[in-house]
Amino acid sequence: MQDTPLIELSQVTVRYGDPDSGTLALTQTSLRIDRGDFVALVGPSGCGKSTILKLVAGLLTASSGGVLLNGREANCKGIGIGLAFQNPTMMPWLTIRENIMIPLKIVEPYRGQYARKKKGEFAEKADAMLARVGLAGFGDKRPWELSGGMLQRASLCRALIHEPQLLLLDEPFGALDSFTREELWDILQQLWMDTGSTVLLVTHDLREAAYLANRVCVMSSRPGRILEDCPVPFPRPRSEETTYQPECVSLIHSLRKQIADARAGEPTQENA
Ligand SMILES: Nc1ncnc2c1ncn2[C@@H]1O[C@H](COP(=O)(O)OP(=O)(O)OP(=O)(O)O)[C@@H](O)[C@H]1O
């Protein structure tokens, strides 16, 4: 018997706004993600990638079809979820350490212990995470004192500090220069390998998808659905060099072609 997947979308439809005439964002979308997997969602702009993340996070309800998390209907409280987006929103009046500790203030079982532990154990946990991402000593700084890349590192710490089972990432490195982005791929890969979290990553960067993911799911143009589910078989840990190996280059070309076909509304052919 197969284990219950952590995420299961079955024949999901999402229509925003008016139930008859609103924007149809997703149709017949099915996706299964097992615990510990790392899945990248790619596809034409506006095809519904972020909509899938919102469904999984319990921030949006499907118009029809099923969205199960750990076998139960998805809602914000079902399992621990970490979130990181393209532009990390930090509270400017808090230090970086305090920003990172925000999930501990909100999520049980940490919430009940927050008042007692925020100056001791929790602060040490935040500092240890900052050190993991190369930001040792930055805990007392305010957000405006950090660069975009540093803020994105801190935002990864905040997404992971409550040890979530699931990490949802929406173009987290999209706004960064390519060197910083590649450094953060390495950091994210290490964090994923160490924590065993399940990751669902939305990205427009196909090299990023091939570097990080175990599977890349290619979506059709809006209304979106999953067209192809491409395994990424390269051994771990991967490095920037991995993305220049012929097998990886050919995978990236194939993904690019599938998305170009999807944008043109043509049927895709795997590895064409
Ligand atoms: N709250 C909303 N109300 C109405 N329409 C929406 C809403 N959110 C998204 N949409 C529409 O639904 C479609 C899918 O949006 P979504 O943000 O999921 O796409 P995406 O693939 O993440 O886009 P991108 O790659 O450009 O970030 C788009 O046409 C978008 O305009």
Summarised one tens digit per residue, pLDDT across range 192-201 is: 998 889 999 9
Q: Rounded to two decimals, what is the model's pTM? A: 0.91
Q: Which residue, judged by its Cα, is nearest atom 7 of ligand 1?
A: 16
Using one digit for the tens of pLDDT, what is the confidence trace for 130-183? 998 889 999 999 999 999 889 999 999 999 898 889 999 999 888 788 888 898
The average pLDDT across 235-248 equals 96
Q: What's the gap in Å between 223 CA and the centre of ligand 1?
A: 10
Residue nearest to atom 12 of ligand 1 (CA): 25
Q: Is this complex scored with an ipTM above 0.95?
A: yes
Amino acid at 250: S
Q: Which residues line ligand 1 (CB under 6 A)?
A: 16-17, 23, 25, 45-51, 222
Check residue 205 and give its pLDDT. 96
pLDDT of residue 2: 62
The domain limits of the chain are 85-164
pLDDT tens, residue by residue, 93-115: 999 999 999 999 888 888 888 77
Q: Which pLDDT belongs to residue 266?
A: 53
Q: Is the pLDDT of residue 270 over 60?
A: no
CA triple 230-233-235, angle to 5 deg: 150
Buried b (16+ CB within 10 A) or exposed e, 68-99: bbeeeebeeebbbbbbbbeebebeeeebbbbb
